[in-house]
Structure 1
């Protein structure tokens, strides 16, 4: 999105470059394009024949070098190059913002002190103001860390042009990055495989432990049931033995040993002969009269 917006902002200057046949007009077009607050890419303008023709003009070749610095250079390149045209305030701010995009590639360049030196800023407050302006312009996502004096940049908009001859080095950097990605993926796959093997081993060990615990529980239950059955059998045998002993003891004592206490006594009433019949009448009247029964007890 940032590239599209920057290219759209550059379109009017590309159209004007077709009619800027005079070197002075081409130089003024460079000043206007670099001062616009919405233009951040300049490769298309730099490649136009009218702008490239400035290399043949001794009086305006410095404007071509200035456009090259805006396209892929830094503020340090501007300060180290002599005879360049002076910058207005808008150009100065923009060149420092574009330089911040380049410096953000290396985190070591993002300390307050390093940025202050690279961008020719007077103090730390100026560094913070520049970073804030770049954030509001959508050039970077950054956080200020005044306590540690560091700027933390998480993302950078792709708004810098490639310098001439930088494609081979860029390709080498991309190959190195691809190699690191491949190595990292291989390491991750190896770690994942190792984790899977360890997880499978833990699962098998856990399963074996659970089976062993269940087997021990079953054995313990079976052992307890066996002991309980033996105790019940022993108690049952003792009970049967007592019952049988009592039975046999009663039978032996009733049939073999006489016991006078267990004999039953039977009382039988016997009629004695009436005295009137078998004895004297006087005796019968004295004992109870005629026909009176006398009970005699006899033990059977």
Structure 2
């Protein structure tokens, strides 16, 4: 049965940055085993998904070349790496408990979501090393509730459609690539803006042409009506009615027809009168 699950968009009760700041304060004032315990806590903390500020703390940075370098490597892995990298070289890191492993899997999903908005289940299963689809969906839904990604699970096509993904820490030396990406985006926006302006100019030009043609047609109609009315008036004035042939051969013009019948009768009687005598 096809089922589309809308992933939640709930906001966390507290800012993630606030949680990270607390761990940075603890790390700044801790050394030795206390510092290592702080790092374990931050790796397990469900509300912390960025670690760059903690990595640059002097006390933490000193671990890189010391006997506890695995702690620094593990923190570095959570900042920039993926679950598959951990599985490829587990000896380079501290042993991760279930909570830490799940958190690293969530961060791996974020890394994939940043690269593509449509992630096949097969790719997720490979990167997270999960065979069971139901288990995979549980991990994804947990990432949603952690508010680090938003999206939909399409179970019929086995695809995660991502709508939003939280950014991860930027590895050292990658700022140049980010600048290039942003510049390419700006150039693309400028191109789109220029195209829109040209389309607006073209649309306005076409509108002006249509209005001009409309006015011209309307004026032509007015002129045509005036001409037809004038022709009809002239025709009425010149019209004559001829019932007996051409004028001068016994025919009657319109003026003759309008003469009074009594006068015409008198003329006829005068021409045919008879006089009798004894």
Q: Which range, TM-score by smaller chain?
A: 0.7 to 0.9
User: What is the root-mean-square deviation of aligned Cα atoms in Å?
Assistant: 2.8
TM-score (norm. length: structure 2): 0.81
Whole-angstrom CA distance in 2 between matches of 1:86 and 1:30:
13
Q: Is the 8 A contact 1:131 1:142 kept in 2?
A: no
How many pairs does the alignment contain? 257
Which of the residues 258, 265, 270 maps onto 2:273? Answer: 258
Between the two structures, name the one with larger relative contact order (CA 8 Å, sep ≥ 6): 2
- Residue 166 of structure 2 is aligned with which of 139, 142, 157? 157
Normalising by structure 1, report the TM-score: 0.75
Q: Distance in 1 between matches of 2:99 and 2:188?
A: 41
Q: Which residue of 1 aligns with 2:209?
A: 201
Aligned partner of 2:223 in structure 1 is: 215
TM superposition shift of 1:212: 2.2
Q: For residue 245 of structure 1, report the CA deviation from its aligned partner.
A: 8.1
Q: Distance in 2 between matches of 1:222 and 1:172?
A: 75
Q: Which of 43-52 and 127-136 deviates more?
A: 127-136
Aligned-partner SS, 2:15: helix
Distance in 2 (alpha carbons) for counterparts of 1:117 and 1:104: 15
Mapped partners of 1:259, 1:70: distance in 2: 146
Query: Which protein shows a greater Rg?
Result: 1
Cα deviation for residue 109 of structure 1 reads 6.1
5+ unaligned residues in a row in structure 2: which ranges?
1-10, 243-251
Write the distance in 2 (CA, Å) between the matches of 1:221 and 1:147. Answer: 75
Q: Could you tell me whether the CA contact under 8 Å between 1:103 and 1:109 is conserved in 2? A: no
Choose the corresponding residue for 2:184, options 176, 179, 184.
Answer: 176
Unaligned runs of 5+ in 1: 264-298
Quote how far apart the aligned CAs of 1:209 are.
Answer: 2.2
Is the partner of 2:259 in helix, strand or coil? helix
What's 1:280 paired with? none
Q: For residues 126-145 of structure 1, what are the structure 2 equivalents within 5 Å? A: 126-145=135-154
CA distance in 2 between partners of 1:209 and 1:64 (Å): 82
Most deviating of 211-220 and 193-202: 211-220
Question: 2 CA distance for matches of 1:91 and 1:223?
Answer: 99
In the TM superposition, structure 1's runs of 4+ consecutive aligned residues that sit over 4 Å from their partners are: 228-231, 245-248
**Offset, 1:19:** 3.1
